[in-house]
Amino acid sequence: MAESVALDPVDLHILRLLQNDARTTYRDLAAQVGVAASTCLDRVTRLRRSGVILGHQLRLDPAKLGRGLEALLSVQVRPHRRDLVGPFVDRIRALPEALSLFHLTGPEDFLVHVAVADPADLQRLVLDEFTARPEVARVETRLIFQQWACGPLLPPTAEAVGARDSSDQSW
């Protein structure tokens, strides 16, 4: 498990603001946080170097790109072996329809978020790119009606960690 980084309230405020708008200028960010622009730049640089900030993402609207139907595909791979998982992951990540891929525990081995043009395109994707693969034992498809972004992601508060620790002791 990755080691967490100690963050103070100014760092947390910077992270909150950047998660809402990663294009905020350092000058505007510094003004909102209440520090000098040079201090803000130093803190963001430290957050990048320590791996807290991994990068910036460009979000696209799949519907505007002709992929208005989104779905989650639960995929079971059999046998579930390392020599099959690597090539499977590489193949799925190369699909233009694939938005994200998760390796899971439980009855399904993978969850794939896809965006396609229409139901016929989804059927083609499932049949030609998933169930046609010899290691794929099962695929379940769930259409996405609506999606909401959540966040911002921040470390747990001391109160939440304390409550979790004390509840763990009751078992």
**Domains of the chain: total:** 2
46/71 same-domain check: no
* 55-89 pLDDT per residue, tens: 988 889 999 999 999 999 999 999 999 999 999 99
Q: pTM value? A: 0.80
**Residue 162 binned pLDDT confidence (cut-offs 50, 70, 90):** low
The verdict on residue 160 lying in a domain is: no
State the alpha helices, DSSP H only, in 2-155. 9-20, 26-33, 37-49, 82-94, 119-125
Q: Residue 24 sits in which domain range?
A: 9-57
Q: How far apart are CA 92 and CA 88, in angstroms?
A: 6
52/71 same-domain check: no
48/78 same-domain check: no
Alpha-carbon torsion (141, 138, 78, 136), positive or negative: negative
- Return the C-alpha torsion angle 149, 154, 155, 157, nearest 10: -100
